[in-house]
A and B are shown apart, each in its own frame.
Chain A
Amino acid sequence: MAVIDPSAGTVFPTPGAQNYLPSQPAAGDLTDALLATDWWTDELVASAGIPIVDVPFVSVGGGIGSFVTADYLRIGGVDTSQIRILSALDHPWETYEYLTRVSQIPRGERLRSDSASRPDNIWGFPSYAVSEAWRSKNPATLWQVLVEPTFADFYTPKAGFVFEQIEREAKRIRYDEMLAKGLVRVVRRRAGGGYFTILTPPDGATATKRLAFRSQYVHLAVGYPGLRFLPDLQAYRTEHNDYQHVVNAYESHEHVYERLMTTPSTVLVRGGGIVASRVLQRLMDDRLLRGAQTTIVHLFRTFIDGPNDGTGSSTPHPFMKRKGADGWAYQGFNYPKSVWGGQLKAEMRKLEGAERAAKYKVMGGTNTPYRRYWQQQMNQGRQEGWYQLAIGTVDSMTPHHGRILNQLKTAQGVYPLEVDFVIDCTGLEADIAEHRLLKDLLDHGGAGRNPVGRLDVDRNFELKGTVSGNGVLYASGSSTLGGYFPGVDTFLGLQVAAQEIQADLAKRGFGKRIGTVRSTSQWLKWFSGKQI
């Protein structure tokens, strides 16, 4: 069974974490002397009885970010023996599939990124739309990418197809040979250059409790530092010991939909992003297609009803006008499209400090794609009265005859709302310091924070301040949001980072430059499915 790593401050479980949690004092553990020292010598590690494994490059996490980075390195000619991926996961898509499944994107549903965002293919060609058309012998998806977004919704791939293709690529690059199972406790700089990465393998897998990976390069792709509940919801859950009626979209909550199928009920949905859209679609599908009698109250904290930008201004600059209506801010992907290569990417690359933070704010803010199907459902729901909107916050929540009594604080005053279930779709991300490994890097590894408070990486995704002799520590993904490149926490963003990291490593002599000849020959291998 999966459990929640208590140190992670998160609502989603780490697979098998109970097997990694410290149990008894055992041989080869971290000592106080080690924990108190910023720069470790080989002798210090050896004296603690921790075995040392030498490998030039380790990637911590083993999710999508580690996968695309390993993919780039393998295509750049690095052998599997030179790379170790330290992870609790068996498959790179595992955490991602968990999060998408519970937030109502099961394998048959479509994700949010575009046709060329392909974690299994560094070229993004052929794109998913082309592959899907080829597979299904149906040109519909080709037509869709041709006319998107003007005459059709943006094409996005099905989750299941994405996972199958990552599986194919993982086999092709022999991902399993690089995988070392375990949770990473700390990364510390090594006196003399490089790093020690301390892994806690599953109980009983090794003779000692920890293993030390001694490497010149380290890459961190640990995903979300933690996804949290809204504090008021968490308080209600613990105070009333009710984990059934108040749920987070990022935890398994299928029981809610099951109850709704049998018992007419009212559900309060909180949040205005993609997850709220997906949860609403599930509720509305169940009502419209499967006969549930659910009434939905949708609470927006910020209600958007017209052109907007991320600062909440109702009169945004004519060049910074995002569409919005009925509470939602509409945007195809989680950033404006040009952050992945276009104008916004180029602009952000030059900004520092407060200016950068301000730019993030303008293009940020919660948003969701405008999908024609959702619009129809919501319109019908509004007309028939079973989809209601509320604007404001929740003052208090109390149990009331098996239901939950919310005091809604709105511009018109406080009024009571009784519901059967609350689904929190606000997707609050935890501070990076709540992640044990990242906190350790801030405290002992020389890492610092960027203008929006996350890990401060350079344009090559090197974690600033952590250099150790000839060694480099890189980071990508959500924990680095706020850097010179904005779209980090997306498939494409992870690939942008991987490309920079691979190029940087090739310059340092680790792997080869991927120029036209290598790129072309490697693409042909990818296309024919040849293992490398």
Chain B
Amino acid sequence: MLPTLNGRIQTRIFMLVVLGGLITLLITPVLPGDPGYSMTYTVLATVLVLGVGWELAYHGLMQWRWEKDWPTLFGLLNAINEGLLVWVLLELGVVPGLDSGVPLSTFLVMFLVIWVFIWIWTNGPMRIFNIRWRFFGGRLV
């Protein structure tokens, strides 16, 4: 029912690579600002790398909760802090591999579409495909 730290990291990587990768492939041509694939995939990779760090932070916070849980709503709202950090780093130009700035509209649409999609997927349909996943802390391997 609830994932472990290891499971959360695994699930996050899996989701961002597989689902995130697929969504990016599909939506890049229709995103505002006309970005190229190298730009959108770089953004996706940034979200992924920072995400692992965020998981460690959430895990620390979770220890203060008796249930050792992370409510569903938090998982949705974490889009705000995580999105902001990615955006700040993009603005500061410290993300490697980008030749030009990423337009805000491009980033917002892409980030939110992927986030909401993955959030819904992990909170439901994912269980259809792997019956062990929910009882084994969200671990895939």
Q: Chain A residues in contact with chain B, CB under 8 A?
A: 114, 116-117, 122-127, 130, 145-151, 318-323, 331-332, 336-338, 340-346, 492, 495-496, 499, 503, 514, 516, 519-520, 523
- Chain A CB within 8 A of B71 CB: yes
Docked Cα-Cα span, A378 to B49, in Å, equals 49
Q: Is the beta-carbon distance between B72 and A320 smaller than 8 angstroms?
A: no
Q: Is the beta-carbon distance between A342 and B128 smaller than 8 angstroms?
A: no
Q: Is the beta-carbon distance between B2 and A149 smaller than 8 angstroms?
A: no
User: Contact check: which of B62, B68, B69, B130 meets A519 at CB < 8 Å?
Assistant: B130
Q: Is the beta-carbon distance between B2 and A520 smaller than 8 angstroms?
A: no
Q: Is the beta-carbon distance between A343 and B4 smaller than 8 angstroms?
A: yes
With A319-B64, A321-B66, A344-B68 given, can you name 10 additional A-B contacts, CB distance below 8 Å? Answer: A117-B1, A146-B72, A146-B73, A148-B71, A342-B137, A345-B4, A499-B135, A519-B129, A519-B130, A519-B131
User: Contact check: which of A114, A123, A148, A321 meets B1 at CB < 8 Å?
Assistant: A114
28 contacts between A and B (CB under 8 A): A114-B1, A123-B128, A125-B124, A125-B125, A125-B128, A126-B124, A146-B72, A148-B73, A318-B64, A331-B66, A331-B67, A336-B66, A336-B67, A337-B1, A337-B67, A337-B68, A338-B1, A338-B67, A341-B1, A341-B4, A342-B4, A345-B4, A345-B135, A503-B132, A516-B129, A519-B128, A519-B130, A519-B131
Docked Cα-Cα span, A321 to B131, in Å, equals 32
What residues of chain A lie closer than 8 Å to B20, measured between beta carbons?
none
Docked Cα-Cα span, A337 to B67, in Å, equals 5
Q: Is the beta-carbon distance between A337 and B69 smaller than 8 angstroms?
A: yes
Interface residues of B in 115-138 (CB under 8 A from A): 124-125, 127-132, 134-138
Q: How far does the Cβ of A518 sit from chain B's closest Cβ, in whole Å?
A: 9
User: Contact check: which of B1, B124, B127, B132 meets A342 at CB < 8 Å?
Assistant: B1
Q: Is the beta-carbon distance between B131 and A150 smaller than 8 angstroms?
A: no
Give per-residue flags for B68-83: 1 if the beta carbon is below 8 A from chain A beta carbons, else 0: 1101110010000000
Residue of B nearest to A116 (CB): B1
Q: Is the beta-carbon distance between A323 and B66 smaller than 8 angstroms?
A: yes
Interface residues on B, range: 20 to 34
Residue of B nearest to A149 (CB): B71
Shortest 8 CB-CB distances between A and B: which pairs?
A: A342-B2, A338-B68, A340-B1, A337-B67, A337-B69, A125-B127, A343-B68, A341-B1
Q: How far does the Cβ of A19 sit from chain B's closest Cβ, in whole Å?
A: 39
User: Contact check: which of A150, A319, A503 meets B73 at CB < 8 Å?
Assistant: A150
Docked Cα-Cα span, A336 to B62, in Å, equals 12
Q: Is the beta-carbon distance between A150 and B71 smaller than 8 angstroms?
A: yes
Q: Is the beta-carbon distance between B124 and A127 smaller than 8 angstroms?
A: yes
Docked Cα-Cα span, A392 to B132, in Å, equals 46
Secondary structure class of chain B's binding surface, majority of residues: loop
What residues of chain B lie closer than 8 Å to A130, measured between beta carbons?
124
Instruction: Please report the number of residue pairs spanning A and B whose Cβ atoms sit closer than 8 angstroms.
Output: 103
Q: How far does the Cβ of A282 sit from chain B's closest Cβ, in whole Å?
A: 28
What residues of chain A lie closer than 8 Å to B100, measured between beta carbons?
none
Q: Is the beta-carbon distance between B73 and A338 smaller than 8 angstroms?
A: no
Docked Cα-Cα span, A127 to B124, in Å, equals 8
Residue of B nearest to A145 (CB): B72
Q: How far does the Cβ of A504 sit from chain B's closest Cβ, in whole Å?
A: 13
Docked Cα-Cα span, A36 to B96, in Å, equals 77
What residues of chain B lie closer than 8 Å to A495, measured between beta carbons?
135
Q: Is the beta-carbon distance between A342 and B131 smaller than 8 angstroms?
A: no
Q: Is the beta-carbon distance between A341 and B129 smaller than 8 angstroms?
A: no
Q: Is the beta-carbon distance between B66 and A342 smaller than 8 angstroms?
A: no
Q: Is the beta-carbon distance between B128 and A523 smaller than 8 angstroms?
A: yes
What residues of chain B lie closer than 8 Å to A346, measured between beta carbons?
4, 137
Interface residues of B in 86-124 (CB under 8 A from A): 124
Docked Cα-Cα span, A427 to B108, in Å, equals 54
What residues of chain A lie closer than 8 Å to B62, measured between beta carbons?
343
Q: Is the beta-carbon distance between B136 and A342 smaller than 8 angstroms?
A: no
Docked Cα-Cα span, A282 to B132, in Å, equals 39
Q: Is the beta-carbon distance between A338 and B129 smaller than 8 angstroms?
A: no
Q: Is the beta-carbon distance between B137 and A341 smaller than 8 angstroms?
A: yes
What residues of chain B lie closer than 8 Å to A337, measured between beta carbons?
1-2, 67-69
What residues of chain B lie closer than 8 Å to A340, measured between beta carbons?
1-2, 135
What residues of chain B lie closer than 8 Å to A122, measured between beta carbons?
131
What residues of chain A lie closer than 8 Å to B4, measured between beta carbons?
341-343, 345-346
Q: Is the beta-carbon distance between B67 and A332 smaller than 8 angstroms?
A: yes
What residues of chain B lie closer than 8 Å to A125, measured between beta carbons?
124-125, 127-128
Q: How far does the Cβ of B9 sit from chain A's closest Cβ, in whole Å?
A: 13
User: Contact check: which of A123, A331, A342, A503 meets B68 at CB < 8 Å?
Assistant: A342
Q: How far does the Cβ of B119 sit from chain A's closest Cβ, in whole Å?
A: 11
Q: How far does the Cβ of A505 sit from chain B's closest Cβ, in whole Å?
A: 15
Interface residues of B in 39-88 (CB under 8 A from A): 62-64, 66-69, 71-73, 76
- Tell me whether A338 and B64 are in contact in the complex, defined as CB-CB below 8 angstroms, given that A123-B128, A496-B135 are known contacts: no
Residue of B nearest to A147 (CB): B73
What residues of chain A lie closer than 8 Å to B132, measured between beta carbons?
499, 503
What residues of chain B lie closer than 8 Å to A319, measured between beta carbons?
63-64
Docked Cα-Cα span, A344 to B62, in Å, equals 12
What residues of chain B lie closer than 8 Å to A345, measured between beta carbons?
4, 135, 137
What residues of chain B lie closer than 8 Å to A320, measured between beta carbons?
66
Q: Is the beta-carbon distance between A492 and B1 smaller than 8 angstroms?
A: yes
